[in-house]
Structure 1
Amino acid sequence: MKFARYLEENAVDEWRKAYLNYAGLKKLIKRVKLHYDARKTGTVPVSESSSHPAARLLRSGTSYLARGQRTVPRYGALGDPEEQDPLPPVTLDGTGLETGVLPAEPVRADSKMVDAGLEATISRQFDEQERLFFYALDHEVDRMVEFYDARELEAVERLSTLVSQLIELAEHRRTYKTRTKRIDGGHLKNIWSKVPRGLDAEELQRLRLSAQGRELQPSSREPTSSDEDVGHQRREHALEQIHDLNLVDVGETSKEPRHYDPVHYKTARKKLRAAVVENYRALEILNNYAILNRTGLNKILKKFDKALQVHLWDMYYEERIQQRSLVVSPTVPQMLHALEDIFANYFEHGDKKRARDILRLGVTHALLPHETGHHRSTFVTGLYIGIALCLVIEAFDHIMHKSTRALIPKWPQLLITYAVFFLPTLFAVLFGLNLIAWQHVRINAVFIFEFDATTAIDPSQYFELPSLCLWLLALCFYQSFTAMPDDERYVSATTWPLLWLAAVALLLCNPLPIMHRSGRAWFLRSCARVLTGGLIGSIEFRDFFLGDEMNSIAYSVSNMWLVQCEYRSAWQSTCNPAATYWTPVLSSLPAFLRLMQCIRRQYDCKGTTHVHLVNAAKYASTICHAFAYFAFRTTGSQSSVRFVWWIVSATINACFTSSWDILMDWNLLHREARYPFLRMHLSFEDIWPMYYVAMVTNVLIRFVWVIYLFGSPSTLPLLTFIAAVLEVFRRWLWNFIRLENEHIGNADTYKIVRELPLPYPVKRHRLDKDGEPLDSSHAPTPTKAQPYHEDQVLASLARTRQRLAQHRGPDT
């Protein structure tokens, strides 16, 4: 495999700008080669067009080093310079490379340092334009080393914070064990002692003999310590290993006495377990970054030597690269081993193999986010959807017959009921196409949505559950309109929707480890967070993303009152959505939840920005639109004030939401973009016209309420359903670009670590203008669950830099 392709496939997309510009350096080598050959032979190639094959550009004459001469090549060797064509220029145009600050005067070839070093060798063999390759390569090396050092420093700070949290966890564990170890009377203790909890062979044998009234004979080997003491020794040993690295202050914890709540121990342990996995993932990505760039530097230097028939690879690598931290720093590998020991001794009872497997599994989606084949899932999905389409077509064929409608007098209400359930199911199926597209362009949806990387599923696996729900819905729909009442196994047509709803609830809430239980649990937890409206906990991306998705199925939410009313009244045609305020209340409920989320985000940002208040005003306009439309429907007259109120509120809402979609959610309409009115970086650049289609479609569907002006009361249910389906497809297109914009934002800030909450207060350090920590008395009081914010990353910055420099040694 070509290394350029290998680098493209294995580079982390959030850090793509920080990797070696291998493709640009290859282009520059071709230009240098063309100039070098022309200068040596004194001839200019017939054409410098890029349409010529690379092989034609790589034709060269006699090697300069093979001549055994040290004289500077003469440009006028074949005639007067004025009569010769100019040499092919060497430029950085189109390569994406920079050179930084060029030297004022390059070393002359006749210097006394002719054989003394790399600079003299380069100056002797290449002219000023050809040396542009080395200037560009120097800049690339400096840029990568600077980036690596910054990320390494952040990793050390995160490890320091994590170690202090683990020390607190050990103290918390002692409190927890002290409170739960002994119960007066001993009866409950004896009962619990017989419950298997990961027992080894000896304990299992003891339980078997106890059931038979016998006792296990004691072993001749006397135990040296209890299980609790062994576990404590393992954890102490893991911390000692980190202390030996001389990178973090293992003993740096708060000296104030702490009072730990035993009830919260397991929650704290779970949070720190996730934090260790996330830190390990970040370190593995950084280690992979160093390996890929070292390999790329070696290959590009060898390619330069091969193209120009010179031998500078070993000299350049030894003088400019070999002693840089990107190559010699042992910090990241040592921290990886330290985290493996910590995870094994704190969370896996000393099982290092299992700990290593769990930690490395979490890195898979970050380092290898490629399409993987799940042929069974693809086959099952296609089977479900294919059968569902056949069932729906057959059911509609029966509905067209007057005899079927005569047997089911309430068929219009039944169709609305199925439409209510169909829209979320269709949305779930379409979301799988979003996942496939994001994976194809390397948008890290696993990281953005905060999936558990150890259990995250592939898009083809995701399709299984939505397609199964779609098939079940189609089956119930078919049974409702094709079953005959004279059949002894006949089930009422209105019963089938309830059976589908119960089946879906059972599938989602099933506690058995089947049908991707971790994904279902993530979805249920996320929906619960959305329903709280930000009242419990801070707002994350997945919260307001799912809130926006819920806004697009407002049709289903608003008609839930109609569905329950029909079942409660035994389908007696007494339910009128236009006569109850439940209709606008439920219709505006998703917008109200998003408004609450915006208010919570404004509160969390402490007034640093007011964009969340503007966003809240957008959802307030959506709520006004819902109530204005309800007020208009109660009269039905287009000459009333309510009609004018609805038109005005609908226009304001459509303009507000469509402009926010394009400007804020998608971040488009940039004048300086390569494609007019888009943006500089596009993940779907191969199909860039799609952005214009999405913008036009988004605006048009935002004004879909116009179709209500041309309908009658009899066609209103159909028009409402058409508008709801169009809104689902609009949101489906919106998803593509919204997540792309979030991914680009992460890439601009090199964000690859989730902001996970920590269970214990974090000691923060404020730095003065010289980088020295201020007195702790001026620092604010830390709060309970604190994420890895910039303050934590810069905590003890001066001391960490000093320890890191000592750890690398004076030569690095």
Structure 2
Amino acid sequence: MDDTEGLSNENVSGLSFGEDQYPNMNVADIIAQRFDDEEQKFFLALDHEVERILAFYLEREHEATERLSTLVEQLLELAEHRREFKAKTKKIPGGQLGLQRILSKVPRGLDSDEMNRLKLSTQNRQPQKPNEVSSSDEDDGDKRRAEVMEHIQNLHISELRSASPALSTQVHDPVEYKAARKKLRKAVIENYRALEILNNYRILNRNGFTKILKKFDKAMQSQVMHKYYDERVACTPIVQSPAVPKMLEALEEIFTGYFEHGDRKRARDVLREGAPQTLIGHATSHYSSAYRTGVFMGIALCLTIEGLRYAMQDRVQAVMPQWQQLLVVYAMEFLPALFALLFGLNLIAWQRVRINSVFIFELDAGNALEPWQYFELPALLLLLLSICFYLTFSTALNSPAISPTAWPIVWLVALVLIICNPLPIMHKSSRFWFLRTLARVANGGTLTSVEFRDFFVGDELNSLAYSFMNLWVMGCEYQNDWTMPSHCSTSASWWVPVLGALPAFLRFLQCFRRYYDSHRMVRIHLVNAAKYASSVLNVFFYFHYRHHGSQGSTAFALWILFASINSVFTSSWDLIMDWNLLQSNAHYPLLRSHLAFDDVWPMYYVAMVTNVFIRFIWVIYLFGGPASLPLRSFLAALLEMLRRWQWNFIRLENEHLGNADSFKIIRDLPLPYPVKRKPRNDEDDEEEDTRSFILGSIRGLDKKNQRMQSTIDTLESTKQDLEYARRRQRLETAV
């Protein structure tokens, strides 16, 4: 922040260059007398931009002040909570409790007191008797935190509610102190990053006006720059307001005093870590990761082709009667591995068009993987799978020491060991983020609230239903030593539709949780739940039809009915809700007003057609005999996985555009204590009048409002024509 401020001040100080040609004239008179009608349009457009940017900045600054006020109130509650925590608990002598000692407490009756005692023991503390003396009196933290609040008061941040400690009427649970402290620590970091972005916005626009005016002076051989800037920019809050720098300083003081025990350097490092990547991660070349990915993929491709060649040989099939079941099991393992690899292409495309996937998925900006770093792990898994596949069929004729049927389970064990490896290698933070997300998806919103990453990953799992179904087939084959293929088909047990419908059922639960969290106001979540209910019914009715040997007109009719309902429901939801297409007022017919992938806009139409086509891919089950059913099932599953990969591009684009339209740049983190709303009083009305006066003064700088609006409309139309011409030129060049 300090370096940027210095650069900005240097630029602003450079305004007073040359002699003042207009010593006794204001900028309005200069524009009217010295420039013709066409040149005055430039200043009309500039006035409009000043007003628009100022209105936006004042609104964001007010929101930032409100957030800081709420944080201060929460921190005062945290200080009171900490005093209760220290007063009612004491440290356990002898250091940390061992795991066995903690677990020894569990068999006793777990009433509320015992549960609290167990939770405190994990924090190396235990309840303190009322007559014992607390050590909190000797704690210097209270003094440090009081100094922080005094410093914030001395900053005199406008609109900030009083930071003076007030008597808390809330009774805090000492056991929950650590959780409350953790939540507020994250909230301070997120608010600091939001203020960094707002401060950069202020500096960027301030310097932008300077450069625009300098270019105009150079082109027109005039020196109106310093006059215009001094009268219409320098006096605005974009330049004059010290609120954002003061709030940044306040948050640094808070983080130092409350969370870093007075270590200011460490507090600054933590707050500023990843701040440049908060909006968009910078593309960085990772040559070693790209090289390893290429090597892994090349070897995997060769081994897969060679393994298929062995599998199709008659003599191999003669000594391996279970070769068809093995191919089905390997297909089950291949689809998720390939899907994970293709997701890296999603990451590359999102980064190219500056879609903020790091923020949307709530990744740690300091540790978020670049696409080429991400590719390395899926490529390694595909390499291991291809090795297992090759060894399964290439060693069948040689009486190997390891049974060919053992290799599929070897890959699954390797997968679990790699993903769950606790060592700080192979991007541990990203792997554990993925495991936490899977755990959140697995509870279906029953234990945690549902965030974007939860239902996004839940939708990804819906397109891997083929792999979930065949988990039972794999387990059945191992249970029967691969000797009873007729007993282990996908139509043999009701476990197959249960596993196949599990991802849709979890999304069904998530929709109800989102409806509950919206205070039962957003009923669209119920419609979404009905969509996933149709998916569950489709799976079960298809199994019912297959389970009876594809006989019976009633079972067939029910399956066709629910399959059609599900396909129409899901494809319509994809286009209208998930992709937000089919808008009547779009620049391109049936698309939307804003497109991130506007350079390849025809691909949206391709995606719409292929998405609907693959949603109806179940019709291939109506043709062919039982012998070709495994191949048809795999092809349908492969196409569904590719459809979801295509869906990812536009779904995240739509989410990013929604965040941009609502100016959402920080996560909505839960706060540990009830938020006290600011009552509206006369001072608020005066502040609102002040902001209105500032905006009114800007509007009154030029009396030609009608003409200005017409000019702006002309400029916007010209801009659109230029963009359209550029697109036409790029398309013609490509052709």
The residue that corresponds to 1:94 in the other structure is none
Q: How does 1:217-228 map to 2 (within 5 A)?
A: none
The residue that corresponds to 1:655 in the other structure is 568
The residue that corresponds to 1:4 in the other structure is none
Query: Would you say how many aligned residue pairs link Structure 1 and Structure 2?
Result: 637
The residue that corresponds to 2:557 in the other structure is 644
Matched, 1:429 2:341: yes
Conserved in 1, the CA contact under 8 Å of 2:86 and 2:136?
A: no
Tell me the SS of whatever aligns to 2:404: coil
After TM superposition, give the deviation of residue 128 of structure 1 in Å.
Answer: 3.1
2: CA distance between counterparts of 1:280 and 1:537? 26
The residue that corresponds to 2:455 in the other structure is 544
Conserved in 2, the CA contact under 8 Å of 1:599 and 1:612?
A: yes
After TM superposition, give the deviation of residue 170 of structure 1 in Å.
Answer: 2.1
2: CA distance between counterparts of 1:703 and 1:741? 24
Letter in 2 for 1:741: N
After TM superposition, give the deviation of residue 635 of structure 1 in Å.
Answer: 3.0
Matched, 1:523 2:434: yes
The residue that corresponds to 1:764 in the other structure is 677
Conserved in 2, the CA contact under 8 Å of 1:277 and 1:362?
A: no
Matched, 1:230 2:140: yes
After TM superposition, give the deviation of residue 558 of structure 1 in Å.
Answer: 1.3
After TM superposition, give the deviation of residue 722 of structure 1 in Å.
Answer: 0.5
Q: Of residues 292, 296, 301 in structure 2, which corresponds to 1:380?
A: 292
Residues 799, 513 of structure 1: CA spacing in aligned structure 2 closer, same or farther, 3 A cutoff? farther
- RMSD over aligned CA atoms reads 2.7
2: CA distance between counterparts of 1:178 and 1:299? 59
The residue that corresponds to 1:508 in the other structure is 419
Residues 476, 308 of structure 1: CA spacing in aligned structure 2 closer, same or farther, 3 A cutoff? same
The residue that corresponds to 1:170 in the other structure is 79
The residue that corresponds to 1:621 in the other structure is 534
Letter in 2 for 1:288: N
Q: Of residues 114, 122, 137 in structure 1, which corresponds to 2:46?
A: 137
The residue that corresponds to 1:696 in the other structure is 609
- TM-score, structure 2 as length reference: 0.82
Q: How does 1:699-738 map to 2 (within 5 A)?
A: 699-738=612-651
Letter in 2 for 1:714: A
Q: Of residues 239, 253, 264 in structure 1, which corresponds to 2:149?
A: 239
2: CA distance between counterparts of 1:576 and 1:519? 36
2: CA distance between counterparts of 1:614 and 1:189? 54
Matched, 1:260 2:167: no
Residues 495, 227 of structure 1: CA spacing in aligned structure 2 closer, same or farther, 3 A cutoff? farther
The residue that corresponds to 1:275 in the other structure is 187
> Could you give the per-residue CA deviations for residues 289-325 of structure 1, whole angstroms, max 9, x where no partner exists?
0111011100100111111111100110011111110
The residue that corresponds to 2:354 in the other structure is 442
Matched, 1:303 2:215: yes
Tell me the SS of whatever aligns to 2:37: coil
The residue that corresponds to 1:492 in the other structure is 403
Letter in 1 for 2:67: R
The residue that corresponds to 2:8 in the other structure is none
1: CA distance between counterparts of 2:449 and 2:418? 29
> Could you give the per-residue CA deviations for residues 149-192 of structure 1, whole angstroms, max 9, x where no partner exists?
11111111111111111222222223333444345xx5x36999
Residues 252, 427 of structure 1: CA spacing in aligned structure 2 closer, same or farther, 3 A cutoff? farther
The residue that corresponds to 1:204 in the other structure is none
Matched, 1:482 2:394: yes
2: CA distance between counterparts of 1:712 and 1:662? 34
Matched, 1:665 2:575: no
> Could you give the per-residue CA deviations for residues 504-560 of structure 1, whole angstroms, max 9, x where no partner exists?
111111111111111111111111111111112222111111111111000011111
1: CA distance between counterparts of 2:171 and 2:330? 55
Conserved in 2, the CA contact under 8 Å of 1:321 and 1:327?
A: yes
> Could you give the per-residue CA deviations for residues 734-760 of structure 1, whole angstroms, max 9, x where no partner exists?
000000001111111111111001112
Residues 367, 679 of structure 1: CA spacing in aligned structure 2 closer, same or farther, 3 A cutoff? closer
1: CA distance between counterparts of 2:684 and 2:479? 66
Residues 190, 129 of structure 1: CA spacing in aligned structure 2 closer, same or farther, 3 A cutoff? closer
Residues 160, 655 of structure 1: CA spacing in aligned structure 2 closer, same or farther, 3 A cutoff? same
Letter in 2 for 1:154: E
Unaligned runs of 5+ in 2: 1-17, 99-134, 699-735
> Could you give the per-residue CA deviations for residues 685-740 of structure 1, whole angstroms, max 9, x where no partner exists?
00001100100000110110111111211110110010000000000000000000
Task: Point out the structure with max Rg over C-alpha.
Answer: 1
Q: Of residues 545, 551, 558 in structure 2, which corresponds to 1:632?
A: 545
2: CA distance between counterparts of 1:228 and 1:351? 19
2: CA distance between counterparts of 1:256 and 1:177? 17
Conserved in 2, the CA contact under 8 Å of 1:601 and 1:612?
A: yes
> Could you give the per-residue CA deviations for residues 57-86 of structure 1, whole angstroms, max 9, x where no partner exists?
xxxxxxxx99x9xxxxxxxxxxxxxxxxxx
Tell me the SS of whatever aligns to 2:626: coil
Conserved in 2, the CA contact under 8 Å of 1:457 and 1:519?
A: yes
After TM superposition, give the deviation of residue 636 of structure 1 in Å.
Answer: 3.8
Q: How does 1:96-111 map to 2 (within 5 A)?
A: none
Q: Of residues 323, 326, 331 in structure 2, which corresponds to 1:411?
A: 323
2: CA distance between counterparts of 1:582 and 1:298? 69
After TM superposition, give the deviation of residue 619 of structure 1 in Å.
Answer: 1.1
The residue that corresponds to 1:345 in the other structure is 257
The residue that corresponds to 1:464 in the other structure is 376
Q: Of residues 581, 587, 591 in structure 2, which corresponds to 1:678?
A: 591
More helix by share: 2
Q: How does 1:184-203 map to 2 (within 5 A)?
A: 186=93, 188=94
Letter in 1 for 2:260: E
1: CA distance between counterparts of 2:548 and 2:578? 37
- TM-score, structure 1 as length reference: 0.75
Tell me the SS of whatever aligns to 1:714: helix
2: CA distance between counterparts of 1:757 and 1:576? 47
The residue that corresponds to 1:611 in the other structure is 524
Residues 629, 245 of structure 1: CA spacing in aligned structure 2 closer, same or farther, 3 A cutoff? same
Conserved in 2, the CA contact under 8 Å of 1:164 and 1:252?
A: no
After TM superposition, give the deviation of residue 798 of structure 1 in Å.
Answer: 5.8
Residues 189, 686 of structure 1: CA spacing in aligned structure 2 closer, same or farther, 3 A cutoff? closer
Letter in 1 for 2:139: D
Conserved in 1, the CA contact under 8 Å of 2:504 and 2:532?
A: yes
Tell me the SS of whatever aligns to 2:425: coil
Conserved in 2, the CA contact under 8 Å of 1:358 and 1:454?
A: no
Letter in 1 for 2:81: H
Residues 491, 640 of structure 1: CA spacing in aligned structure 2 closer, same or farther, 3 A cutoff? same
Tell me the SS of whatever aligns to 1:670: coil
User: Which shows bigger deviation, 173-182 or 677-686?
Assistant: 173-182
Tell me the SS of whatever aligns to 1:181: strand
Residues 803, 531 of structure 1: CA spacing in aligned structure 2 closer, same or farther, 3 A cutoff? farther
Q: How does 1:384-399 map to 2 (within 5 A)?
A: 384-399=296-311
Matched, 1:575 2:488: yes
After TM superposition, give the deviation of residue 624 of structure 1 in Å.
Answer: 1.5
Letter in 1 for 2:298: G
Letter in 1 for 2:402: V
Tell me the SS of whatever aligns to 2:196: helix
The residue that corresponds to 1:52 in the other structure is none
Unaligned runs of 5+ in 1: 1-64, 69-112, 193-224, 774-795
The residue that corresponds to 1:122 in the other structure is 31
1: CA distance between counterparts of 2:59 and 2:300? 54
Q: Of residues 183, 203, 226 in structure 2, which corresponds to 1:314?
A: 226
The residue that corresponds to 2:732 in the other structure is none
Percent of aligned pairs with the same amino acid: 56
